[in-house]
Amino acid sequence: MTTDDATEPGPAAAAVPTAALSGFQDEIYLHGLLEERVPGYPTDLSALEDAAREVLAPGPFGYVAGAAGTGATLRANRAAFDRWAIVPRMLRDVSVRDLSRTVLGTRLAAPVLTAPVGVLSIVHEEAEPAVARAAAALGLGSVLSTASSTPMEEVAAAAGDGPRWYQLYWARDPEVTASLLARARAAGFTHLVVTLDTGMLGWRPRDLDQAYLPFLRSTGIANYLTDPAFRAGLAKPPEEDPFGAVAHWAGMFSNPALTWADLAWLREHWDGPVVLKGIVHADDARRARDAGMDGIVVSNHGGRQVDGALGALAALPGVADAVGADLAVLFDSGVRTGADIVKALALGAEAVLVGRPYVYGLALGGEDGVRHVLRCLLAELDLTLALSGHASVGELGRDSLVQQGV
Ligand SMILES: Cc1cc2nc3c(=O)[nH]c(=O)nc-3n(C[C@H](O)[C@H](O)[C@H](O)COP(=O)(O)O)c2cc1C
Ligand SMILES: O=C(O)C(=O)c1ccccc1
């Protein structure tokens, strides 16, 4: 469902002129010329992981960078991008460009949102509010994780006028789920992203080898600890028995018994748009549509759940063909550069979510680091679009790409 012509530009989007995006490049060169200053963060976004390794302790680094099993799916995510190549076209007047897009009624300066990532306090004390502020400042979307280390009301306030999307881990206890949804609504979140691929945590050797569970060592699950329905299920308050609270959380944060029939319950408890995250099969995408959902995120959770699963981008064209006309098809898993965003949009994604790159930015420099990463991504997206002969994201299509080695 392409909604470029939808109305109601949001205030944050309007504040960011497209010209400012590739202007970031000029700004960097200018600082170099006038102040002999270099950016201080990598501008090769594929180098962020190495930079973050230097500043993070092994536990948090392994948790963020790590994947399920042998890492086959993590690698497949990148390999799937490498199989497609952009074919630049010339003499098409790309002097004025439009990166903006409206996704399910949310106006974005570019079709980019920060993916929901839990327990961000393990990488930087500024955590989730810093991400919400950085995304909003650039006119981008931000999806807050249920496993946020900051209570959702505080993150909502940090997002200001920016879009507020909330990611749900559908708890086993319906009262907890209903309570989380009611709080999210009251805090001004408008869109719900329901993650379906994490009925339990995947097999993650880096965390297992270090016996590292982020929730045990920080205020990781603050969002739950502040929830009245969650607290009601505890034998003792978390202040008296923190370990008991974490154990209770681990047993109920997600529900592997869910089926498609349960989506009706969700509709009764959320009156805004609902997006299902973790879809990689065209039949599941059709079921989402038939169940009245508004969108899906084609995603394999950044390779953290099923080792051996297909690269997410390999699933995108088939899913987009099946439901792209009926549903908002979003994409994540493996997006690292502006060129990657161009490829995902050309293959039918309406917008992309970016995960680890911004988490590395947060680790390196708090809000400033997140902003750096997002600005680099947008500048590179803008330049790649222009230099390949496209004046807007809406001009991207399958004919913008060719399959390598085919
Ligand atoms: C450290 C970490 C924590 C995550 N936590 C969540 C979460 O709480 N909820 C969720 O839906 N997805 C979570 N994800 C998955 C991301 O939303 C996203 O699908 C994934 O990171 C995209 O892949 P990428 O990192 O290659 O961009 C997490 C990912 C990472 C790396
Ligand atoms: O680590 C993850 O990938 C994830 O999705 C998660 C699950 C529970 C709590 C925090 C993050």
- Which tens digits make up the pLDDT trace of 305-357? 999 999 999 999 999 999 999 999 999 999 999 999 999 999 999 999 999 99
Query: How sure is the predictor about 405, in pLDDT bands with cuts at 50, 70 and 90?
Result: confident
Ligand nearest to the CA of 304: 2
* Residues 6+ positions from 170 with CB-CB distance below 8 Å: 177, 194, 254, 255, 258, 262, 266
**Which atom belonging to ligand 2 lies closest to the Cα atom of 195?**
5
Interval 224-230 mean pLDDT: 96
Query: Helical H runs in 92-171?
Result: 127-137, 152-159
Query: How sure is the predictor about 15, in pLDDT bands with cuts at 50, 70 and 90?
Result: very low
The pLDDT of residue 192 is above 50 = yes
Determine the distance separating the centroid of ligand 2 and the alpha carbon of 128, expressed in angstroms: 14
177, 254 Cβ separation under 8 angstroms: no
Has the ipTM of the complex gone over 0.95? yes
CATH of the domain spanning 18-403, picked from 3.40.1110.10, 1.25.10.10, 3.20.20.70, 3.40.50.2300: 3.20.20.70
- Which tens digits make up the pLDDT trace of 106-141? 999 999 999 999 999 999 999 999 999 999 999 999
Determine the distance separating the centroid of ligand 2 and the alpha carbon of 56, expressed in angstroms: 18
Catalytic machinery residues? 301
List, as residue ranges, the binding site for glyoxylate.
63, 167, 169, 204, 301, 304
Interval 239-261 mean pLDDT: 94
195, 169 Cβ separation under 8 angstroms: yes
**Which atom belonging to ligand 2 lies closest to the Cα atom of 254?**
8
For the chain, the straight-line distance linking the first and the last C-alpha, in angstroms and rounded, comes to 29
Substitution candidate for ligand 2 out of 194, 277, 304 with most atoms within 8 A of CB: 304
Interval 53-62 mean pLDDT: 98
